[in-house]
Structure 1
Amino acid sequence: MKVYKTDQIRNIALIGNAGSGKTTLAEAMLFEGGVVTRRGEVTAKNTVSDHSFIEQEYGNSVLSTLLYTECNGAKINILDTPGMDDLCGGVVSSLNVTDLSLLTVNTINGIESGTVAAGRQAEKFGIPMMFVFNQLDHENTNFDAALDQCKATFGNKVTVVQYPVEAGPGFNTIIDVLKMKMYKYGPNGGKPEVLDIPDSEKDKASELQNELVEMAAENEESLMELYFDKGTLTEDEMRQGMKMGMLQRDLFPVFCTCAKKDIGVGRLMEFIVNIVPTPKERPARPIVEGKELKMDESAEPSLFVFKTAVEPHVGEITYFKVMSGKIQEGMDLINSKSGNKERLSQVFVSAGKNREKVEALVAGDLGCTVKLKETKFNQTLTTKEAGTKYEPIKFPASKHIIAIKAANESDDEKVGEILNKIKYEDPTYVIQYSKELKQLLVHGQGEYHLNVLKWYFDNVYKIDVNYIQPRIPYRETITKPAQADYRHKKQSGGAGQFGEVHMIIEPYTEGAAPKTMFKFGDKEQKISVRDVQENLLPWGGKLIFVNSIVGGSIDARFLPAILKGIMEKMEEGPLTGSYARDIVVYIYDGKMHPVDSNEISFKLAGRNAFSKAFKNAGPKILEPIYNLEVWVPSDRMGDVMSDLQGRRAMIMGMGSEKGMEKISAKVPQKEMFRYSTSLSSITGGRGVFSISFDDYEKVPAEVQDELLKAYEAEQEEE
């Protein structure tokens, strides 16, 4: 295969709802470019893109797949991405290395939740976007309705370049208002007959062309002047304006296809080659350190790894984008993270599992290599002199958590190793062992995402694992001041142990100064504040330790031991064993023995005094609260609201966004288990949500009673 120059390369990501035909479109593009001689079908499990066992079993894309095709002397790199929002990792990584998002729309269903979610990702990364209205041959297709929904969702930037003469089972003709020609296809698609637009369509085509000319002219002042002078633009001038509009995300062209029959695909590819931005026309990827390198073949070589995969009989495959210079077989580069040398023993272009060796890849191109020693996803390879490190890809926060445990305890270590391997293939899995909860947790994008993980354990690694509902990381605190003292005394021959501690505890309030007077019943206790130590707790919140000792009743050398005892008890709160937080402790009196007092004595005295005071200080359990944003169709708004109220949610706001209703709420983590499944069921798969941690709040009294009883029962069992 020839080495393409940067300006001959186009990088596109196929995004959209599951079932919109992305993989079928990719297959047709490869066929049109001569990369394959026969078009595969998803139902026949023989497409180039969905080649893994799990994708063939599930019947849809699970991973992003790198493909390429050729058209009119240019190379089009294609990343076919999953359509399920749970599998958004492949979409995010693909959008980070491409220059156009090709958003496929199923014209039977119109704009779906996955269409909106994919469009939102493209917007987030500022990627130019165009729409492909697909499946126009179906009896239930409705181009006009889908177009109206598209404009309602994505605005008037959506601009028709093509429309079908007759959508439905007889679909074979497209009007192209950029070319002002009619394309008529045979029963097997392929190369069309290019005809003049018939009189019956001329008025509609002219009206749409005027709209397109206006949209193109708006993007550059010189074009606007030409438009005012001549009342129109030439095709080349329109291309120039459309490219500017796409780069600025002010223009979203609409094209028509039936990918399954290869109708409209060749013209779509021609448009991509002629108008879609080249890699050097898009903003450079930010660097976090080292030399800034231009996307130019003559610059020092560098590449950015956007995906790591493992294939049977091949091993680890590293997919990369050439960010600068030229990458050649046998080249030695430096890993910017470790500083170690990596040799690129072979360089390939990729069409699914089929890889073809190439002499070189230049700036802007996408390719892969094998057998790197340590370079993984999100890492940079470059020269030692450049030392460049590109900004890593940032993924959405997880939405679903599950605890995972091997059915056979002897497999526990293997499970951990496998999870660490899988997280490099799909970085949206976040693996965490919680010392607090004593559980191995997997954070994912939803229940479907975690079911995919289970499939790998069952079918690839042959290890039986169980999913368990994760425990909730509750916190404990107090609501009022309390006083306690404790004497630790132990005498058993030889040196004894003696330590007595008097303390007061109170709730911590941000910005409040330590008090100098407390009253318990009829008794007042005056406090002399000698020293204040603020301790930020690893699990959140604070412990303020106030030294109020006067007269030397406790030697200063024993205060760290008292603090250590208190901290030990805060790690295992008196109510449910959860971490305690946001407490002020005053040590104001005590006693010591000239011989028997030591650090262990005061640690135990401090620990037990704190435990006694805590139980009398109006102890309360705190639960983690999350910010939730839900996007739902208007006809399911009431059902979703009812479900949220049943989850103890506090509704913070409502509004409309991109044709969907948006609900903002605060919800306890305990109530969010399996929410993705519930939302999908309520909305028929059309609802999407995002979630992020907010803060801890006190649980209602009835919930606290339940938790205390459950903890007591657990302690009795142990």
Structure 2
Amino acid sequence: MAEFDTSHVKSIVLLGHAGSGKTTLAECMLYEAGLINRRGTIAERNTVGDYHELEQERGNSIFSKLMHTKWRGYKINIIDTPGYDDFVGEVISALRVADTGVMLLNAVMGVEVTTDIIWDYTEQFKTPMIFAVNKLDDDRADFDRTVAEAKNHFGNKVLVVQYPRQQGAGFHEIIDVLRMTMYKFRDTGGKPDKLPIPDEEKARAEELHKELIEAIASNDEFLMEKYFDKGELDEDDMKMGLKKAMINHDLFPLFCLSAERNMGSGRLMGFIDNVCPSANEMPSQITRTGNILPCDANGPACIFVYKTVSEPHVGELSYFKVYSGTVKSGMELENETTGVSEKINQLFMVEGNKRINTNELVAGDIGATLKLRNTHVNNTLHIKGKNYELTPIEFPLPNMTVAIETIKKGEEEKLSVALHQLREEDPTIIIEHSQELKQLLIHCQGDMHLAVAKWKIEHNHKLEVRFTKPRIPYRETIRKMADASYRHKKQSGGAGQFGEVFMRIEPWHEGMPEPAGLNVRGRDTYPLDWGGNLVFYNCIVGGAIDTRFLPSVLKGVMEKMQTGPLTGSYVRDVRVCVYDGKMHPVDSNDISFKIAGLQAFRQAFQQADPQILEPIYQVEVLCPDDITGAVMGDLQTRRAIVEGIDAEGHFQKIIAKVPLAEMEGYSSSLRSITQGRAKFKSKFHEYAAVPYDLQRKLIDEYSKAEKEELV
């Protein structure tokens, strides 16, 4: 039987910008609960959370980590997450399974960019949230400014439950306006003394206490009536009201911390077990078919896999949350996505890099299992006879692309295996074999994300790889009409080859009139896989070319459109009219007219004022006001067209259109310019004409490369 029932299991996720103190807080929580007898530190590289070699090397969290602790009759699952948006996938997957989020704010820096980005996801998931202002022992700490920024960004739903009596090196007293008590800590932190609020703080504490009561009462009719009758709410009423408001995403209580000195973590844990909701108090899961799945340990077993990790010499470790029923070792569950039955051979509770065997996990709990061969992130597993499929996690699109290749030849297959495993572990990485660019591409979130991928490939798979600049997927088109003809004639004994084609090509656009001066006998539009259209007209009069040869002419045109005459790029938005030609009663065949069509198109294209088009991306940069000028200056060196600047909270959002060719290295450049205080996202917008001098350069480079290949 499980040690804790569903109502006594809480799952929290620690969130915040890099350096806000999430890993240090997790260490305090484990220490306060007695699971560890010494608090590790980032500097000493011995925390339970940041156990990975790469994290210890870099000094910051890269992967989300599952830990758990026992506190006053409750089991608290703790998921520590990275603070850089390069690793946002780790944050989103953790949020998907958490019952409450704890957002840490750095009292020195206030609300930072990543905090805003993460907040958007908490709004999507409607995760109950707690704010914790950390680093109040820093001499540069400013609690009031941090709270003001939090209210500015996230609204007046942010409620002060605690405030510091003093800040900086002398920080050791916290005034709690929910309990109307002052906590006084020793220099070493730990368990505080509970004291009356000093006279000089009573007015402020009572004002904040009243604000807290009124906010809680305003979200519950029963409590509002009670407040009007008595002019007060007792602590139990306030806890009940806070829990309900947090579940509805209506109120966000704010606490004080110095995780470094272990001050305030115990009170935060007490609030988590007393007030924060268990999974069975949260709204039930809705399956993709619309069924309601209550979080009930006695219901049908159903789990959701939110993360996988490949462990050397062990295999894949699948992390999951039990959303219904009780999962026991030896149980067989069916994967709704793959239809494959999976046996749960082992169940684990996880403590950083340690796995603790357990026989069962109840609804609401989080755990892990090994060697689910056909199960991946976002899969739902359930008992046979059900068809539950829970809502999958939607991961963000990539912001950066590089080409990858092995340094040693002959290791391409090993690289494919490594990349497949990389993708299994991290769904925010997309692997693409680009036939167009003839490159193997990695799409990811940024340069830090890419560095981690490279480290994994080299250390886990013992492969030497290099990243190269991805080729740009240019397009070619034309700007005026041109006519051309080509005769293909070949005689080499026996049946020969003969085909002659007269062709007109024009730039195509929607709604253009029919070809002037030609008799249209047939018209077909072919949407192209790479964008745009080819419109093909049969304008043959008098049977100059038999109709059965027109598909071959079209095939020749299409073949040349896949390797455009200027740079070998795809051709788009062209209208082709075949209006005359000649054939031979014996020597004409499909291959003859295919070659004639291809060459006639090539010649006409060169005479039709050809134009190279480049992909343009819409880029949005979120940054503080004081570095907006530097960010815009950098964008302008990249041929960007800045379309506007919008205020978003106290950040500025710069919106620009930037050629993809100029986006190389932008992630690292932006981080360097802004010291990591800005973030960006990008998406494809359109194809646009390249400047004349760049077109000339691209054509010359392609011609040179073609000549070198022939040598």
TM-score, scaled to structure 2: 0.97
What is aligned with 1:142? Answer: 142
CA distance in 1, matches of 2:287, 2:490: 63
Structure 2 runs not aligned, ≥5 long: none
Partner of 2:603, secondary structure, is helix
User: Do 1:105 and 1:132's aligned partners in 2 also have CA atoms closer than 8 Å?
Assistant: yes
Tell me by how many angstroms 1:428 deviates: 1.4
Letter of the 2:98 counterpart? T
Q: What letter corresponds to residue 262 of structure 2 in structure 1?
A: D
Other-structure match for 2:176: 176
1:559 aligns with 2:550: yes
Q: Contact 1:93–1:307 (CA<8 Å) still a contact in 2?
A: yes
Contact 1:7 1:279 in 2 (8 A): yes
1:422-461 alignment, distance < 5 Å? 422-461=422-461
1:534 paired residue number: 525
In the TM superposition, what are the counterparts of 1:151-190 in structure 2 within 5 Å? 151-190=151-190
Q: Say whether 1:119 aligns with 2:119.
A: yes
2:701 maps to 1:710: yes
Alignment of 1:583 with 2:574, yes or no, is yes
Distance verdict in 2 for CA 1:685–1:590, change over 3 Å = same
Give the residue type in structure 2 aligned to 1:648: R
The answer (yes or no) to whether the contact 1:506–1:583 under 8 Å persists in 2 is yes
Aligned residue pairs total 709
* Map of 1:482 onto structure 2: 482
Identity of paired residues, percent?
A: 50
1:359 corresponds to which letter in structure 2?
A: N
Per-residue CA deviations over 1:129-164 (Å, capped at 9, x if unaligned) read 221111222233222222222223323222110111
- Which deviates more, 672-681 or 284-293? 284-293
Hey, what's the Cα distance between the residues in 2 that align with 1:20 and 1:49? 15
Work out whether residues 503 and 580 of structure 2, in 8 Å CA contact, stay in contact via their aligned partners in 1.
yes
What aligned pairs does 1:564-575 form with structure 2 within 5 A after superposition?
A: 564-575=555-566
The one-character-per-residue Cα deviations of 1:640-678 (angstroms, maximum 9, x if unpaired) are: 111112211122221111210111111110111111111
- Matched to 1:687, the amino acid is A
Residues 291 and 387 of structure 1 are in contact (CA less than 8 Å); yes or no, is this contact kept in structure 2?
no
Task: Say if 1:2 and 1:388 are closer, same or farther in 2 by CA, change over 3 A.
Answer: closer
Partner of 1:632: 623
Q: Does 1:695 align with 2:686?
A: yes
Quick check: 1:502–1:590 contact (8 Å CA) kept in 2? yes
The 3 A distance-change label for structure 1 pair 229 and 527 is farther
Q: Which residue of 2 aligns with 1:352?
A: 352
Does residue 1:617 correspond to 2:608, yes or no? yes
Tell me which stretches of 4 or more aligned residues in structure 1 moved more than 6 Å.
none
Cα displacement string for residues 11-64 of structure 1 (whole angstroms, at most 9, x for unaligned residues): 211111111110111111112223223222121111111111111111111100
Give the superposition deviation at 1:601. Answer: 0.9
* Post-superposition CA distance 1:443-464 (Å, at most 9, x none): 1111111111222233333322
Helix, strand or coil at the partner of 2:293: coil
1:289 deviation in Å? 4.9
* Equivalent residues in 2 for 1:151-550, closer than 5 Å: 151-289=151-289, 292-513=292-513, 515-517=514-516, 526-550=517-541
**How far apart are the structure 1 equivalents of 2:569 and 2:194?**
73
Cα deviation code 1:264-313 (max 9, x no counterpart)? 11110111122222223334444335965332222211111100002234
1:671 corresponds, among 655, 662, 671, to 662
Cα distance between partner residues in 1 of 2:507 and 2:26? 61
Matched, 1:53 2:35: no
* Separation of aligned partners in 2, 1:390 and 1:341: 17
Q: Distance in 1 between matches of 2:603 and 2:121?
A: 53
Matched, 1:128 2:119: no
Query: Is structure 2 residue 651 aligned with structure 1 residue 660?
Result: yes
Q: Distance in 1 between the 2:605 and 2:476 partners? A: 10
Q: Is the 8 A contact 2:348 2:358 kept in 1?
A: yes
Q: Which amino acid aligns with 1:696?
A: Y
Give me the CA root mean square deviation: 1.7
How far apart are residue 181 of structure 1 and its match? 0.9
Question: 1:165, 1:119 → 2: CA distance?
Answer: 28
2:31 aligns with: 31
Question: Is the 1:3–1:360 Cα contact (8 Å) retained in structure 2?
Answer: no
8 A Cα contact 2:285 2:294, kept in partner: no
Check whether the contact 2:157–2:251 (CA below 8 A) recurs between aligned residues. yes
Structure 1 residues 251-260 or 285-294, which shifts more? 285-294
**Equivalent-residue separation in structure 2 for 1:247 and 1:480 (angstroms):** 63
Partners of 2:160 and 2:255 within 8 A in 1:
yes
Residue identity opposite 2:349 in structure 1: V
Helix, strand or coil at the partner of 2:576: strand
Shift of 1:604: 0.7
Say if 1:39 and 1:47, in contact at 8 Å, map to a contact too. yes
Note if contact 2:173-2:183 (Cα within 8 Å) is conserved in structure 1: yes
- Are 1:103 and 1:118, in contact at CA under 8 Å, matched by a contact in 2? no
Cα contact 1:423–1:430 (8 A) shared by 2: yes
Give yes or no for contact 1:633–1:683 (8 Å, CA) kept in 2.
no
SS at match of 2:240: helix
Whole-Å separation in 2 of the counterparts to 1:369 and 1:679: 40
Deviation at 1:233, TM superposition (A): 2.1
Cα distance in 2, alignment partners of residues 191 and 133 from structure 1: 19
1:54 aligned counterpart, secondary structure: helix
* Structure 1: runs of 5 or more not aligned: 518-525
Counterpart of 1:521 in structure 2 is none
CA contact (8 A) 1:349 1:358 kept: yes
* Displacement of 1:92: 1.1
3-state secondary structure, aligned to 1:105: strand
SS in 1 for 2:139: coil
90-99 vs 244-253, which moves further? 244-253
Secondary structure in structure 2 of the residue aligned to 1:268 = helix
Question: What letter matches 1:628 in structure 2?
Answer: V
- State the match for 1:68 in structure 2: 68
SS of 2:442's equivalent?
A: strand
| In structure 2, C-alpha distance between the alignment counterparts of 1:95 and 1:481, rounded to whole Å | 57
CA contact (8 A) 2:312 2:460 kept: no
SS, match of residue 189 in structure 1: coil
2:191 is paired with a residue whose SS is: strand
How many Å apart are 1:570 and its aligned residue?
Answer: 0.5
8 A contact 1:476–1:621 mirrored in 2 = yes
Deviation at 1:630, TM superposition (A): 0.7
